[in-house]
């Protein structure tokens, strides 16, 4: 019997499962769909000679995340790829706003729109550098990130206080007009704000545009070589290497609760998956107080919902539950089962929250030759 069951094999669930496995827990991940990945998948449906990312395509917050970097996914086949430049906004008159990881290149492209706009970009980048450690800490700390938010508030005050806060809550169109004399800077900010599903006139879109732009400036917009699914594959390989189990095509109908504590899950085929009894667990505690969880419990720490191409995927629907494990899943003997499987009430709360993964709100797809 597993020590923990994770519901959903999207990126949040797989990262959470890997962290639990690293803590010495035996972990089973249950996924409703035929394969893992959620919105981090690719296929060859357009043309067999090309890989097409189905949902999300690039992952700057994965590059920035100390949790993801700590998994050392490169040892499990992941290879990040960067374009020569992060992104560009060409205009019909030949001018082009360019976001490049070399800030001199970005600034020069904006000065071509209006002399001095490169300096304005550098000023926004200096603010980012001051806020970055605590801002990223707040994003990757389990909710609520009280300490990180407190430190961020102090840094925000030192960086300009109310004036800066006002700037970051502006609509991105207004922010671009106030910060730059030409069109280029506003194009970079507005284009990046759209990745958060925010319109140029929406309050707060300026802050999101600034954040995504600065992530691109610092980390780029890396993509997994071979398609988005290569990131999922690396997470699955790592989990299995640590003894974790992944079962796909298996819908969870409800969480079974006994005396206010989750003690198992009921699947659509009528089966149950229980955890090991707490008294039988001898492995170290996991990086969370919850031994039962959907991936959302770990989301703030492991994988922000809008990392990379952001948003929430549409609810998935089962194509026919199955108890078979995913193809290629290694079999392994289970540890000793507890003498009794917890019994009692099978009343459960509403179905657990679904995994949320990064989806491109602009339905952007990236193709790469095989």
Please name the helix (run of DSSP H) or strand (run of DSSP E) that holds residue 65, with its range, or none. none
C-beta separation of 27 from 245 below 8 A:
yes
Q: In whole angstroms, how far apart are CA 20 and each of 162, 200, 207, 291?
A: 41, 40, 34, 9
Cis peptide bond N-terminal to 144, omega within 30: yes
- Which pLDDT belongs to residue 42? 96
Which pLDDT belongs to residue 316? 32
- pLDDT, position 261: 86
| Residues contacting 133, CB < 8 A, separation 6+ | none
**Structure tokens, 272:** 């149950």
Strands (E) in 95-181, as ranges, are 96-99
Could you list the pLDDT tens digit for every one of the 370 residues in the chain? 789 999 999 999 999 999 999 999 999 999 999 999 999 999 999 999 999 999 999 999 999 999 999 999 999 999 999 999 999 999 999 999 999 999 999 999 999 999 999 999 999 999 999 888 878 887 777 766 666 666 666 666 665 667 777 887 899 999 999 999 999 999 999 999 998 888 889 998 999 999 999 999 999 999 999 999 999 999 999 999 999 999 999 999 999 888 988 888 999 998 888 765 543 344 455 444 333 444 443 333 334 333 334 333 333 332 333 334 443 333 433 333 332 233 333 333 333 333 333 333 333 333 333 2
Helix (H) or strand (E) holding 95: none
pLDDT at 97: 97
DSSP-derived pairing of the beta strands 245-247 and 27-30: parallel
Predicted local confidence at residue 303, as pLDDT: 40
**Nearest CA-CA partner of 174 in 209, 206, 212, 214:** 206
Q: pLDDT value at position 41? A: 96
Alpha carbons 336 and 196: distance in angstroms, whole number: 47
CA-based nearest residue to 1, from 265, 307, 287, 284 = 265
Q: How many CA atoms lie within 13 A of 65 on its CB side?
A: 27
Burial class (CB in 10 A: 0-12, 13-18, 19+), 16: buried
Predicted pLDDT of residue 349: 35
Buried b (16+ CB within 10 A) or exposed e, 101-132: beeeebbebbbbbeeebbebbeebbebbeebb
Q: What is the pTM (predicted TM-score) of this model?
A: 0.72
The CA–CA distances, whole Å, from 125 to 37, 104, 207, 288, 289 equal 33, 12, 13, 34, 37
> Using CA atoms, how far apart are residues 114 and 164, in angstroms rounded to an integer?
23
Structure confidence at residue 19 (pLDDT): 96
């Amino acid at each position: 019997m597993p020590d923990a069951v994770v519901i959903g094999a999207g990126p949040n669930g797989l990262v959470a499962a890997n962290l639990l496995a690293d803590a010495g827990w035996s972990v089973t991940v249950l996924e409703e769909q035929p394969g893992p990945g959620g919105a981090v998948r690719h296929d060859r449906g357009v043309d067999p000679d090309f890989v097409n990312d189905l949902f999300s395509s690039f992952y700057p917050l994965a590059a920035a995340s100390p949790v993801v970097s700590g998994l050392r996914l490169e040892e499990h086949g992941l290879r990040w790829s960067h374009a020569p430049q992060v992104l560009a906004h060409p205009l019909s008159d030949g001018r082009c706003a360019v976001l490049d990881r070399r800030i001199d290149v970005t600034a020069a492209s904006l000065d071509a729109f209006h002399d001095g706009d490169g300096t304005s970009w550098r000023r926004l980048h200096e603010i980012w550098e001051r806020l970055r450690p605590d801002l990223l800490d707040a994003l990757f700390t389990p909710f609520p990130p009280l300490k990180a938010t407190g430190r961020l508030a102090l840094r925000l005050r030192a960086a300009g206080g109310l004036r800066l806060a006002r700037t970051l809550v502006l609509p991105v169109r207004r922010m671009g007009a106030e910060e730059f004399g030409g069109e280029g800077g506003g194009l970079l900010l507005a284009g990046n704000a759209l990745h958060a599903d925010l319109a140029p006139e929406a309050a707060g879109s300026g802050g999101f545009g600034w954040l995504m732009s600065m992530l691109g400036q610092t980390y780029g917009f890396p993509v997994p070589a071979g398609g988005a699914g290569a990131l999922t594959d690396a997470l699955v390989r790592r989990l299995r290497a640590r003894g974790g189990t992944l079962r796909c095509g298996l819908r969870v109908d409800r969480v079974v609760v006994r005396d206010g504590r989750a003690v198992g899950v009921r699947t659509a085929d009528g089966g149950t998956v229980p955890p090991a009894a707490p008294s039988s667990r001898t492995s170290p505690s996991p990086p969370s107080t919850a031994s039962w969880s959907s991936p959302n419990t770990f989301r703030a720490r492991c994988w922000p919902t809008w990392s990379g191409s952001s948003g929430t995927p549409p609810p998935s629907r089962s194509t026919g539950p199955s108890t078979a494990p995913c193809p290629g899943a290694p079999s392994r003997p289970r540890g000793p089962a507890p003498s009794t499987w917890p019994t009692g009430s099978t009343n459960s709360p509403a179905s657990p929250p679904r995994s949320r993964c990064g989806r491109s709100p602009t339905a952007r797809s990236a193709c790469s030759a095989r």
